[in-house]
């Protein structure tokens, strides 16, 4: 079976050193020629001027968006051209050689549609980063829940995808999230502080509202369209 095309999307702001570290680790560990990387930056951020993006592509999204907006606008354009879309943070490091082949293999074992998330050495209960088949992104109309800007997007995927039976944890693939809360020497920098102060409380309220009203409808749609057990039952009923 031919390798699926995978695009890894990484929004970044004011973190050139972390971005260079992330890019280096991606270059050293990805296994497939069909795996590509895209960094997304802001029009008012000159910290990346003159940067060598190496094997990665780079786009400036204007006007500035926060993480959900950046990834949703990018995914809307890219979902037609790639079989699978993925995101990580700029403070992540790709560790396992061939992580892309491993994660895509897990997706294939599921039937090719759904979410797969790696071991990020911070949390296993929710996917802080994940890959998702483009057919699911197109069915939902988004990659990250558009009711949110920055936070609780992982809670959305965890609960929705688990209820739909369309997510797998892939501990064989390690992509470390070197967050300031778990990594010695890492700092709560201006990028973290701005986002947490601006969106923390607002996104919590939006997450609770989405969970109460939209979650059941999204789960029902996903189960009907992509869950193989539900598809089998429906086929027998027909």
Name which of 136, 148, 120, 115 is nearest 221 in CA terms: 136
- Which ranges constitute the DSSP H helices of 61-189? 67-78, 99-109, 134-140, 153-164
Sketch out the chain's domains with CATH numbers: 6-232 (3.90.550.10)
- Among the listed residues 120, 43, 52, 48, the one whose alpha carbon sits nearest the alpha carbon of residue 86: 120
pLDDT recorded at residue 207: 95
Closest C-alpha to 89, from 205, 165, 191, 172 = 191
pLDDT at 236: 46
The pTM score is: 0.91
What pLDDT score was predicted for residue 230?
A: 58
Helix (H) / strand (E) element for 211: namely helix 190-213
CB-CB contact of 130 with 87 (8 Å): yes
* Residue 183 confidence (pLDDT): 77
The pLDDT tens digits of the residues spanning 42-64 come to 999 999 999 999 999 999 999 99
| Segments in the chain below pLDDT 70 | 1-2, 230-238
pLDDT for 2: 60
* Token code pair at residue 215: 């979650």
């Amino acid at each position: 079976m031919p390798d699926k095309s995978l695009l890894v999307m990484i929004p970044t702001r004011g973190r050139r050193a972390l971005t260079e570290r992330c890019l280096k680790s991606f270059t050293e560990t990805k296994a497939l020629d069909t795996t590509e990387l895209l960094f997304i930056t802001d029009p008012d951020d000159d910290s990346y001027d003159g940067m060598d993006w190496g094997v990665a592509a780079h786009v400036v999204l204007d006007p500035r968006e926060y993480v959900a907006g950046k990834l949703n606008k990018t995914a809307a354009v890219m979902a037609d051209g790639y079989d699978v879309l993925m995101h990580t943070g700029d403070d992540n490091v790709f560790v396992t050689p061939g992580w892309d082949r491993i994660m895509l293999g897990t997706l294939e074992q599921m039937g090719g549609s759904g979410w797969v998330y790696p071991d990020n050495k911070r949390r296993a209960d929710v996917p802080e980063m994940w890959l998702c088949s483009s057919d699911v992104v197109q069915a939902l109309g988004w990659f990250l829940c558009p009711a949110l800007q920055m936070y609780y997007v992982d809670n959305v995927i965890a609960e929705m995808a688990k209820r739909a039976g369309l997510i797998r944890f892939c501990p064989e693939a390690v992509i470390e999230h070197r967050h300031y809360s778990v990594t010695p020497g890492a700092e709560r920098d201006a990028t973290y502080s701005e986002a947490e102060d601006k969106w923390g409380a607002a996104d919590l309220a939006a997450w609770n509202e989405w969970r109460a009203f939209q979650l059941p409808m999204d789960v029902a749609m996903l189960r009907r369209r992509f869950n193989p057990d539900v598809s089998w039952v429906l086929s027998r009923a027909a």
